[in-house]
Amino acid sequence: MPAKTEMTLDRVLSRYGIASRTASREAILAGRLRVNGKVERNPERWVDPGRDVVELDGKRLRPVSKTYLLLYKPKGVITSHGDPDGRKTIYDLLGADGRWVAPVGRLDKDTSGLLLLTNDTEFGHAVMSPESKIKKTYMAKVNSLLNDQVIAQLARGIEMKRGDWAAPESVRRLEDRGKYTWLEIVLTEGKNREVRRMVEAAGFKVLKLVRTRIGPLTLAGLEVGKSRPLTRREIAALRGR
């Protein structure tokens, strides 16, 4: 059995805030890491960070400071480190601030709004876990005027394609504007494209989607495409203490 201080090589990079587990494995498989002077390509290799010398691109790994960012993601920007088609990503917006952070959950290309990024993997997992019950609030523009019965159906929960069940915390009408209804939808889970899929399951389509809140965090005072660090109070509130 490995000692309690030991962990797999990919987890070392993740715990040190260097990269996500996926990015860590890619770096290891590419031969960018050395353990005690020898190239190591096995992400499952057990090492003791306090005893073994682990180097990435010739530099010894050391824990980096924990970083917590809030980004106002614009529509049309991809939540990804890179894109083979050359489309703009969130890291183009973050610049040097985004060097070590990974997104906490995702927003699809056509969704704008609040996106958290951090190199604190345990914090990120806690925020996204359904067990945390942290509320994520969205504003959705729907392609029709919805009656009260449809909104009540969405609020009760609805079966989506592939048998997934959407169980929102709440759904309410914000306003009817022209031919469209704007909804506020609050979720406590993080299923892929859940808002769009639940509206589609009711027979309609989301034309515009903005995430406006995660727990106590809002977009207030933040311009589209800009980011800011979280305050200690905000971090503590998301941790529930």
List residues with catalytic annotation: 108
Contacts for 98 with CB less than 8 Å, ≥ 6 apart: 69, 90, 91, 117
| Burial annotation 107-134 (CB, 10 A radius, 16+ → b, else e) | bebebbbbbbbbbbbebbebbbeeeeeb
Q: How far apart, in whole angstroms, are the C-alpha atoms of residue 212 and residue 225?
A: 14
By DSSP bridging, strand 206-214 and strand 180-187 are unpaired
For residues 201, 114, 112, 90, the Cα torsion angle rounded to the nearest 10 degrees is -120
Helix (H) or strand (E) holding 136: strand 136-142
Q: Which two tokens stand for residue 81?
A: 């480190």
Integer Cα distance of 34 and 110 in angstroms: 40
